[in-house]
Structure 1
C-alpha cells in the first residue's frame, strides 16, 4: 500500500514515521524547509515506546506531486485545510482512501465536496506530541492511538487493508465500525476542554480551584452533549462519565492545545472546534450559554489578533 502522509510535524511525523519504521511505503508531503531538514537529519522520533531515526524519508512538495496513492493520511490544522486540499489533490485517484485526523466534523463535509464521499473515511487519533525547533518529534505521554473506519459502519475489505498495513507499526491502530460516534465523543470532550481552558486561560486543576469553575465546566460539557444528542450522536453514559472525570480532576495540569496557541498569539481552530459545534445546534443554540460565551471569547481574540496584524 502506497501511503501519503500530509505533513511531518508532531502528529503526521509520529504516525507516518511509525508506519515507515514498520516497512510501509510512506511518502511525506512537506514544505521545502521541512524536506531539507528531513534529508539532512532524518525523521527523528523520541518516545517512551521507542526512539527511532529514519534516514532520508521520501518527501514530495506541492507542485511536484503527480502520482496517486492508495491511502492519504491527513493531519493538519483546520485553518490550513483549504490549501492542503489543493496541494494533495493530484494524489487522489479513483480508489484512494483519505483518512483525516482533524478534530470536529466539518472537515468531512469539505473533503466530501472536493473528493467525493466514497473516498473519505472517518478517523481520529489520540496523542500528545510536539515538534521542537530542531525538527525532532517528541511523544509526550503513553497514548498513541489511531482509529479509522467506514462512515457507514461497514467493515469493508479496503478498511481491512488499511488495518493490515498499520498493524505492524508501533502505535495502537483500531478499525472501528462506529467511527462517527467515536469522532463525536472526542469532539464533545475536546470542545469542552478547549472552551473552558481558553475561556479561563488556565489548566483544569486551576479552574477546579476557582469558585464556580467546576459548575462552568460541567455546564459547557452539558452544552456540547446536547448538541451531540441533537445530531443523533449522544455520548454513552460511560463516555460522558470519563469526560467529566478528566475535566474536573483536581490538581490536573491538563489544558487544550488551543489554549497554548492562544497564549502564544497563534492561529486557533475557533470555528472548526467550537463554532461548528454551536452551528450544529440549530435553533437550540440560543440556550447554550456557556458554548456561546466560549465562542465569543475566541472570536474576540481572533479579531484582536487580526487587527493587530
Structure 2
C-alpha cells in the first residue's frame, strides 16, 4: 500500500513515522522549507523517554507526480487545508482512500465536494504532541490513537486493511460504525477545552484554582453538546462525564494545542473549529454565548497574528 502523508507536523509526522518504522511505503508531502529542515535533521520524535530519528521520503507539491496513492493521510492545520488539498490532488484517484485528521467537520464537506464521497473516510486522531523550536515532534502523553470509518457506517474491507496497517505500526487503531458522530463528539471536546483555556489564558488547573473556575468548563461543554445534539449527534453520557472530569480536574496541567498556539503567538484554527460550530448553532437555534465569546476572542487573536 503506497501511503502519502500530507503534512509532517506534530500529528502527521508522528503517525507517519510510526508507519515508516514498521516498514510501510510512506512519502510525506511537505512545503519546501519543511522539506529542507527534514532533510537536514531527519524527522525526530522525542519525549516520554523516546528518541527516534528517521530519514523520511519527501516530496513537495512541485515534485508530486499524478500517480495515485492508495492511502492519503491528511494532517495539516485547518489554516493550511485548502492549499493542502490543492497540492495533494494529483495523488488522489478514484481508488484512493483519504483519511482526514483535522478537528471539526467543515473539511469533510470540502473533501466530499472536491473528490466525491467515495474516496473520503472519516477520521478521529487522538495524540498529544507538539513541535519544538527545532521542528522536532515532542510527545507530551502516551495517547496515540486513530479511529477511522466509512462515512455511511457500512462495513468495509478497505477500512479493515487500513486499520490492520495502523495496528501493525503500533498505533491504537479502531473502526467506528458511526465515524461522523465520533468526529462530532471530538469536536465538542476540542471546542470545550479550547474555549476554556484560551479564554482564561491558562491550563485547566489554572482555571480551577480560582473561585468559580470549576463552573466554567461544564458551562462551555453544555453549549457545545447542545449544538451536537441539535445536529443529530448527541454526546453519550459517559463521554460527557469524562470531559467534565477533564475540565474540572484540580492541578491539571492539561491544555490543548490551540492554547499553545495562542500563547506562542501563532495562528489558530478559529474559523474551522469555532466559527463553523457557532454558525451551525445559529442555524439550529441553539444559544452559545460562551462559545460566541471564545470565537470573538480567537478572531481578535487571529487578526492580530495575521497583521503583525
* TM-score w.r.t. length of structure 1: 0.94
Residues 39, 235 of structure 1: alpha-carbon distance in 2 compared, 3 angstrom cutoff: same
Shift of 1:17: 0.5
Q: Which residue of 2 aligns with 1:62?
A: 61
Residues 48, 93 of structure 1: alpha-carbon distance in 2 compared, 3 angstrom cutoff: same
Q: Which residue of 2 aligns with 1:243?
A: 243
SS of the residue corresponding to residue 173 of structure 1 reads strand
Shift of 1:9: 1.7
SS of the residue corresponding to residue 274 of structure 1 reads helix
How many residue pairs get aligned? The number is 307
Shift of 1:47: 4.8
Q: Is the 8 A contact 2:130 2:257 kept in 1?
A: no
Residues 38, 263 of structure 1: alpha-carbon distance in 2 compared, 3 angstrom cutoff: closer
Q: Which residue of 1 aligns with 2:114?
A: 114
Shift of 1:287: 2.3
Tell me which stretches of 4 or more aligned residues in structure 1 moved more than 6 Å: none
Shift of 1:214: 2.2
Q: Which residue of 1 aligns with 2:231?
A: 231
Unaligned runs of 5+ in 1: none
Unaligned runs of 5+ in 2: none
Q: Is the 8 A contact 2:231 2:284 kept in 1?
A: no
Q: Which residue of 2 aligns with 1:33?
A: 33
Shift of 1:241: 0.2
SS of the residue corresponding to residue 130 of structure 2 reads strand
For 1:188-207, what aligned pairs fall within 5 Å after superposition?
188-207=188-207
For 1:1-309, what aligned pairs fall within 5 Å after superposition?
1-48=1-48, 51-55=51-55, 57-66=56-65, 67-284=67-284, 287-306=287-306, 308-309=307-308
Q: After superposition, what is the alpha-carbon deviation per residue over 1:108-146, rounded to whole angstroms, capped at 9, x for unaligned?
A: 011111111111100011111122333432222110111
Q: Is the 8 A contact 2:98 2:119 kept in 1?
A: yes
RMSD: 1.7
Shift of 1:39: 2.9
Q: Is the 8 A contact 1:216 1:290 kept in 2?
A: no
